Each structure stands twice: as structure tokens, then as C-alpha cells.
Structure 1
């Protein structure tokens, strides 16, 4: 008798790393440096996590969401390369400012599984340098998305970025100010909404309390010690990745938050179309080809 295969489990990993080589004014981790001891601990945590994933029998997708820049650290590059080569790993995604080395990608077995969630910071690097690195990803066949925090002072840079990026690359925009109306001029808002069909969800998050969500059912957040929560934004502990049986904790849960205003969270909601629109690129915010013009249904 055939048994039903368990659905792909998405693991959103955030370890001890909390340092970044950029100095964005709105970020608490700007130009923060981790000690050697902290980096060594983070490397051990990532290696343990990678070994755990390698030992599993079910399909797994991984998103590294560090408090800082991870690809400048060799242990994250090694982890992504190792995970992508595993037959039961479906996706290996990571958030990055794209400032780190890229040559390692040429040696990745299972390169089609790699997804880079790339953020452009106009006040930290030049457009020419960022585009050159995107072009290298295209040459190597690496799937990626590009995004910007949509600050008013960066709107010209965003326009230039969209004009220069290949048409197939999704440009996502994160709303900078959600405290009330009036931050964006009407004409700028019209362009932003046209540039990113999903910008409205970032700017005006739809109510989430009580909505069905894959977080806790088919997606879990895990820290460096293996402690599990349903997502980054609901701190209730579910168990430990290295100690507890996942079958005992994976179940459908309704969202307890009034609003979910981060893509990492609302992409898992069952009442929103992101799982269908992004498909297997959902963790890296990579839109399925031919679906980039779709708008949210609510």
C-alpha cells in the first residue's frame, strides 16, 4: 500500500550571525561586527543544521534569513552548496546584499535550486556595480530576485534599476513608511504600484488575524540552537529541531497577529496568492515566469 508523501517542509533559518558590511541608516545591524567567537559559534550552528537536513527523508526547502550579510561568510556558501546537492532539498534560498563572492556558485551541483533574494542599497553601492553582479548571476544561470526599500530619496535609483534589469527579473519593493498615508506622492505611488504588482501588500498589509497559514503546518522558523517557532513573527516555542518529533508539532494554525507586514510571513498565508504565483521560487521571492503581472486578489 502506498503512503502519501509528506509535503515539502520549508525551514526559515536564522542563526547567531548579526553582522553586516553595509551601514543602512534604518537597520540595527548596520556595520555591526561579530566577534571571532560569535562567528565560530554561527559556523557550528550552520554545520549542525546542514547535517540535520542531509539526514532527513522528506522534501525540504531552506531559506537563510540572517540578521546581517551571510554570503561574505564562507560557512554559508558551503552550506548552500552542500544543501543544493541533496536530492530531497527542493530550494536553497538566502537574503543578501550581493556584495560577497560569487565564483563559488560555478561549482554548485543543483544550481537550479539556488535562489538569491538580492537587495539593492543605493547609498551603499553604485548601480553599475550592483548590475554587474546581477549580470554575472545571469551568465551563470542563477535564479534571483532584486528589491529595494522604497524610500523617497531612492526613487530615481529604483527607476534606473528597473530600466536596467532584465525583464524576467522580478523587482520587489518594500514600503518604507507604513505609519500612515502621505509618505508617497500620488504620481510616485502610481509608478511604484506598476513596477511591483505586490507593493500594495507591503504598503497596506491585509488583516491576518485568524487567517489560515502554512506557518506551523508546512513551514517553521529555526534558530541556531534548533529552537522552533511557526514563523519569525510569532515567538511561541513549538519545540526543538534536534530533539523533538516534527510530526507532533506540524499542524494547521491560524495567524494570531493583527497584521503581517513582511513577505517572509505573508507569503505563507493560504488566503493570499503568493504560493501559487511564486511557486518553487517563493522563498527567494522569485516569480514564476509569466506570472509577474498578476496582482493580489483581495
Structure 2
């Protein structure tokens, strides 16, 4: 998922925990109302590290949830994975363990930290934006490629500019804004944005380069050969390894050691994709969009 040859051979998009300290209105319903309400017993960090090591490949492990920092022993997990692999994280940074993470995990082994802001939820919970900025700056100062993420949920568009001003005043200088994917007041998004809203989004996307294809309606690659299932995979909270977020074809279970990848690229069967950035990285012959870079979207 980078323009230059990557130092890893396989990529895993791992939903590692259902636990979350936020309850965002725009979270995907399957996550907000189903997964996040059912906490499972997460595997031991040492077991997961061994399973990835046993694959015999250098991996990039994207970690999301839920909130990754709520995975029991998360910093130890990251420290273990970073010895032989690379990681990236989607987090809300509302954790007291961020500074410990910055001390114990080498920044050179972390491809990206995407730090979601979720302003309405922070305000509801009384989470100070200064605490977010402190954790964000701790990562940046330690050399991590950390980027703030603002989800452009339709009711937030009117306050977006003011929120950006607050963030910049606190030193949060790398901000990306991404389209909302879902249904709001009977309208499906990203198709439901007005032309005026689209212009606002494209003018304020920051480092996030995938808003343009989303707004252009690039939502299906059905029939096109894809490396998903061969060198890139989705791992569910139970350890099941699937082809990708959009296609639930199973290849066994990572936790119990039964995972076996596919041997050949197969055409995409999805009518509508969920994570466009991954598709544009895993397709055998993807369309090109300027500025493509390592990224993992919130699903």
C-alpha cells in the first residue's frame, strides 16, 4: 500500500477487539450495536505474536476495533509484533498508555497511526481535546507517522472549520478528513452529499486522498483480479481470516494455527466495497489516484 516497494510481504487488517470507550453516532451499526456490545476473551499477546512469526513472512499488521488500546496487554502486543513485523493502528488516542507505547515500540516499525478525533463523543464524555493533542504530540515527537482523522458525518459539516482551528491551535498539524459511509436521515453516503458539501470535503481532505474516488462513485471492482486472500487478509475478532472486509471467504483461523492463504489471485465478487483504500492497493491492476499512500480506513 505504498508507492515504493514495502518491507513486508503480507498485510493483515485485524479487528483485534470489540472493546471501545467511545460510542460514536456514526460508527458502523454492525460494530456499534453488535460487536461493541459483545466483549470476547481476547487472545494472549504472546500467542498472537507467535502465530504471526510462524507464518514465515514479514507482515504489516493493521490494528483496529473497537479501540486497540483497550486490548489487554496492547503495548506488549505491539512491542512483540514490532520485533519481526510492522504495525499500523487506528485509535482514538483516549488512553493513558499512549506515552508508554511511544517509549516501548520503535517508530521505525510503525507504518502509521491514524488518530480519530470524534469531537461530539469527546464532548459527551468530557474528554478534553488537550489530552488528545498531548498524546498526538507525544507520538509525533517520538518520530511516529501520526495523523489526525476527522469523519465528515453530515451533521458535523457546519462545525468542521471551527474544530480544525481548535486542533491547529493545539499543535495538531497533520489532519485528514474522510467521507462518512453509511445512512443518515434516510440518505446513503457518500452518495448523499450535496455538490456544495462535496466541494467542502475536497477542499479540506488534507492528507486523505481517497475522498475523490468515493465521491466519484468508485464503489465496486467486481470481476477484477485482486491479491486479497493471497497476500492481504482480514482478521476478525475471533481470529478467523477472511479475504477482505467486503468478502467473507474464510481461510481458517489465525489464533488456532489453521490459517492457510489462497494460492491464486481471484476476481473480486463484491457488489460494493467497504474499504476503498485497500481495494486500490490490492487490485492487480488498480486505477491510480495521486498521492496514494499507506492507509487503513475506519470501516
Question: Is 2:149 aligned against 1:147?
Answer: yes
In the other structure, the counterpart of 1:202 is 214
Rounded to whole Å, the distance in 2 between the matches of 1:181 and 1:57 is: 39
Equivalent in 115, 118, 126 of residue 118 of structure 1? 115
Contact persistence 2:78–2:105 (CA under 8 A): no
- Deviation of the 1:60 alpha carbon: 1.0
SS in 1 for 2:102: helix
CA spacing shift, 1:77–1:123, aligned 2, 3 Å: same
CA spacing shift, 1:208–1:61, aligned 2, 3 Å: same
CA spacing shift, 1:268–1:227, aligned 2, 3 Å: same
Rounded to whole Å, the distance in 2 between the matches of 1:104 and 1:284 is: 25
Rounded to whole Å, the distance in 2 between the matches of 1:109 and 1:132 is: 18
- Deviation of the 1:274 alpha carbon: 6.8
Q: TM-score, normalised by structure 2?
A: 0.75
Mapping of 1:14-93 within 5 angstroms?
A: 14-15=15-16, 17-27=17-27, 28=29, 29-30=31-32, 32=36, 38=40, 41-44=41-44, 46-66=45-65, 68-86=66-84, 89=85, 91-93=86-88
Rounded to whole Å, the distance in 2 between the matches of 1:13 and 1:48 is: 15
Rounded to whole Å, the distance in 1 between the matches of 2:249 and 2:89 is: 24
Deviations 1:154-196 (A, max 9, x none): 1244324545447972504122457278843433321211222
CA spacing shift, 1:238–1:275, aligned 2, 3 Å: farther
Question: Is 2:176 aligned against 1:171?
Answer: yes
- The unaligned stretches of length 5 or more in structure 2 are 1-6, 123-127
SS in 2 for 1:18: coil
Q: TM-score, normalised by structure 1?
A: 0.75
Contact persistence 1:220–1:231 (CA under 8 A): yes
CA spacing shift, 1:153–1:129, aligned 2, 3 Å: farther
Question: Is 2:234 aligned against 1:234?
Answer: no
In the other structure, the counterpart of 1:13 is 14
For the aligned residue pairs, the C-alpha RMSD in angstroms reads 3.2
SS in 1 for 2:197: helix
CA spacing shift, 1:263–1:95, aligned 2, 3 Å: farther
Deviations 1:47-69 (A, max 9, x none): 42221113343221101132x11
Contact persistence 1:72–1:99 (CA under 8 A): no
SS in 2 for 1:83: helix
In the other structure, the counterpart of 2:125 is none
Contact persistence 1:96–1:118 (CA under 8 A): yes
CA spacing shift, 1:192–1:94, aligned 2, 3 Å: same
- The unaligned stretches of length 5 or more in structure 1 are 1-5, 286-298
Instruction: Give the paired residue count.
Output: 266
CA spacing shift, 1:77–1:122, aligned 2, 3 Å: same
